[in-house]
Structure 1
């Protein structure tokens, strides 16, 4: 490990790998490059992560963990289905856009479909099913459009995940982007025309503070070199 190294080595490794995977892909990034970028020796990398695939697995898991914690907390809130969907969608999009690097886009890497990452896709399906349960509830209550819930859910999830492709960390602000995604989703699912900007703003103002502590930090670990 380099002298003067500060912070958690695992976080330095993950931060460096996320940036390198985003720039050069999984196959195009070596553990030697990750070690150099994180200020560690290659042997130290293997002490924390036995393989490069283990690094990617950890990064992928981190893209679903925040939203899954939101699902659990939302169950304890006495709110309408519209407010629950709004909050889940806003917080999900906010988490996707809040990291210093675009970790969520790593799910689009071809290697992410390998069997070794099946656990990540299982967790992601749990999140998709949570969205579906809310949409079915809204359709049954008459609040949401009379559409096939599964088709509506596919559209909502695709729209939310698409933010990782067009969100520009140099130009866009995460909270404004998450609000835009939430407003767009409500325009799609709600049966009646409403002021979605007002609904999103009021819902976040009323309940957003409940989840303030689970939004990931947007800082990068200090450069150890």
Structure 2
């Protein structure tokens, strides 16, 4: 699963049926847009039948939801593990800040689709995505607040604003990052995390 999924080139796609459908949908939604992609195009690219698709996904809307939700679930699992490490709060925040960059870059198509097309989801699915994102942001914020209480991070800026500032940068990655560029996802993750920690140091 990555931001540069290759076309199948006429070969039978590999993986489970849901994986093949999601990979095909991700690639086509990124290339043609959600509205410009038909269910038939998705199932053809995935090498399955419509019946097989509807066994796993009730609609094209469900595919769009899952394209982003699966990345968010993975990022949340990473954050839960990072936040529970036996490490300083600075180390945990740095690792979490870098991880969300690396995983976003690795799944750049998914992020592009989310910010371009998620408004087309049914209202209840939009609410579900927002609720899951809020859980992620709240856990990230809790580490910032811990650092502020311990005097490791500056406390003159609200933790909510720090989280919004950082993730605003993360959410714009899909507008400028290119896999063929000079920087890898790990490079960008390290630089962004370094900048965040530098900005969090208490003012002298």
Give the TM-score category using the shorter length. Answer: 0.7 to 0.9
Note the 1:41-120 alignment, pairs <5 A.
41-99=49-107, 101-108=108-115, 109=117, 110-112=119-121, 114-120=123-129
In structure 1, the residue matched to 2:161 is 151
In structure 2, the residue matched to 1:198 is none
Q: Deviations over 1:8-51 (max 9, x none)?
A: 12111111111111122212211011112212223322222121
- Do 2:61 and 2:122's aligned partners in 1 also have CA atoms closer than 8 Å? no
Q: Given the two structures, how large is their TM-score scaled by the length of structure 2? A: 0.83
5+ unaligned residues in a row in structure 1: which ranges?
Answer: 194-225
In structure 1, the residue matched to 2:6 is none
In structure 1, the residue matched to 2:31 is 23
Q: Deviations over 1:118-175 (max 9, x none)?
A: 2221111001111211111222222222212221221022122222332212224221
Q: Which has the higher contact order (CA 8 A, sep 6+)?
A: 1
Taking only aligned residues, the RMSD between alpha carbons, in angstroms, comes to 2.3
5+ unaligned residues in a row in structure 2: which ranges?
Answer: 1-9
Figure out how many residues of one structure are paired with residues of the other and give that number.
Answer: 191
Deviating runs (4+, > 3 A) in structure 1? Answer: 2-6
Q: Deviations over 1:32-86 (max 9, x none)?
A: 1111221222332222212111111211111211221122212431211111111
Q: Given the two structures, how large is their TM-score scaled by the length of structure 1? A: 0.76
